[in-house]
Amino acid sequence: MQSNSNIVDTLNVPQKQVMTVDVEDYFHVSAFENDIQKSDWKNLELRVEKNTFRLLELFAEKNAKCTFFTLGWVAERCPELIKAIVNEGHELASHGYAHQRATEMNPQQFKDDVAKSKQLLEDAAGQAIIGYRAPSFSFNDTNTWVYQILADLGFEYSSSTYPIEHDLYGVPEWPRFIYNRPEGISEIPVPTVRKNEQNTGIGGGGYFRLYPYWLSKKRINNYLANEQQPYSFYFHPWEIDPDQPRITSASMKSKLRHYINLSRMEGKVARLLEDYQWDTMKSVYLGK
């Protein structure tokens, strides 16, 4: 059987794909925002540091590079993790400070949140931060002013849109591939496949945990062959942590989304790392 790398060569598709991790803990997620107050975060067990260090080990084993979209809240509490990310040659990027969706902030609040995160990350890493991802992909038609703020703060790209229909986010009519905004920001949407005039997400997260690995791989290969665009993948450190505390007060829907197949995720990610070559957003998309 032909190896995946040879398939990629034959199809003349991008050799390196993009690995991203949204560095947040289990209690930061939007699915639990009605069950956990931000004021309680400091009292909850911090597991993001251990889980992210495990990912660094896994990436080193598989010779993969990654963009870590990191909360400023995490950077404040885990400075050694930030140093390890940059020392191992990965890209550090911003996920905002307190995992607040952009759709829930006015322009000044958004600017304050993102600027605080950027400063914390740059102080810890000793290098400029040029990438940003909004919590829950919360850029849409109601807040396009965010791009001018990102440009003013010195960012060069965003990966904050998912062009699908979803109850928590989604801009199905927006571009599916990287494009340059008039404000000077490159927007890099999460990958989708398009069929019957409808987009379906294939970028990672819960979809990747839900589907069998062979199906995810088939969809990625089809995307690479049909679109001739790099593929980017995202997930979170808590997704490889089946022993994390359970939020029993959450809705059944939220618990299903968050906890399904956690025990299988690390093994599936390891296979993904073996089947493709992985690099950072700024390297693959911006050539830096």
Q: What is the pLDDT of residues 200-225, one digit of tens each?
A: 889 998 889 999 999 999 999 999 99
With vertex at residue 207, the alpha carbon angle to CA 44 and CA 227, rounded to the nearest 5 degrees, is: 130
Q: Are strands 192-195 and 198-201 parallel, antiparallel or unpaired?
A: antiparallel
CA distance 284 to 288: 8
- Expressed as residue numbers, the domain containing 167 is 4-284
Share of the chain above pLDDT 90, in %: 84
Q: What is the pLDDT of residues 141-164, one digit of tens each?
A: 999 999 999 999 999 999 999 887
Q: What is the mean pLDDT of residues 155-180?
A: 85
Domain count, the chain: 1
Lowest mean pLDDT among 33-37, 164-168, 175-179: 164-168
Cα separation of the two ends of the chain = 35
Closest CA to 97 of 81, 125, 126, 77: 77
Question: Which conformational region is residue 260 in: left (phi greater than 0), alpha (psi within -120 to 50 degrees), or beta?
Answer: beta
Q: Is 98 exposed, middle or buried (0-12, 13-18, 19+ CB in 10 A)?
A: middle
Q: At residue 276, does pLDDT exceed 90?
A: yes
Please name the helix (run of DSSP H) or strand (run of DSSP E) that holds residue 179, with its range, or none: strand 179-180
pTM: 0.94
CA distance 110 to 41: 20
Q: What is the pLDDT of residues 72-95, one digit of tens each?
A: 999 999 999 999 999 999 999 999
* CATH, residue 130: 3.20.20.370
Q: What is the mean pLDDT of residues 48-59?
A: 98
